[in-house]
Structure 1
């Protein structure tokens, strides 16, 4: 069991008390999460680090809450899961871009940082293709959510980098001085790359 899958169960119990205070449909919560994520990217772009960090935490809170609300109230839907994953990946992709642009306007960026950003974003692309194509194959083989009983709408082949690790690294990216961005981009790229190889290895021995 990975750290992310372990903490997903813990998160479920932690957020359940907030469900009774939520007057919104789960998809509405997802849209609110996306809006706070967009606000976070704008704060990153304009170097408002405190507001960016606060909105990032609110975004992650709402992103966790929408699923708990859906499951508790039996309002789970494929559309809700689809909108949720689109929201997540959009924010994951845009925050590093905005941070790099902000560091460039602050005269702390370099060609190396832009290159590292491009490599990181390309690894995101490969990782997402790997993750969701494997999920589609598992669902096709009836080895997906109905069998694994996962909380997500489709089964997620476990690997090193998940939601928890992403929250940790993005918190560091947003909060630390721009000087640390090349190091954080490089380390996260390596970890995402290892995650891609993990799923490839799993596919070679399973499919």
Structure 2
């Protein structure tokens, strides 16, 4: 082979090497054109293993946030303390019998039966006077059925000096076989808890 032919082949080989190097640097997958290769055993960003890894990290982050919230609030969520709930239950045990006696007396009064004394004992003077000023109007025809209260739940409405001053008992009243919502408001007075209002 002549010297000129060998020189030509060498030039061609160098050109091919330069072209290959150019292709490798211009088509890399990493930042700045550099090719990045994941380490063995490390999942790619779109692989199922990567999704599980990211999901695990998210769950651990959520767990840390929940733990931090528990440290800030030992009950795990904002709300009344256990002592406050016990006070509310004590109030409920007092006000519910008063509310039921009042409602029973009001039902009798509306049917024309004597109940004024119980109404005065269980309601505030203002409410009792307002109710007793209106004469009962029992319906004509068959003897009507008295309304009866179902289950009641206490809703704190107002506090004074760290104790409840006004509450509502909400629940259902059964009248004529049909349940309707009812709310009975009670206030703390010098004479004890008294019904101050009633709403259907």
**TM-score, normalised to structure 2's length?**
0.24
Bigger radius of gyration among the two: 2
Name the one with the larger strand percent. 2
Which one has more relative contact order, counting CA pairs under 8 Å at least 6 apart? Answer: 1
**Structure richer in helix, relative to its length:** 1
TM-score when normalising by structure 1: 0.23
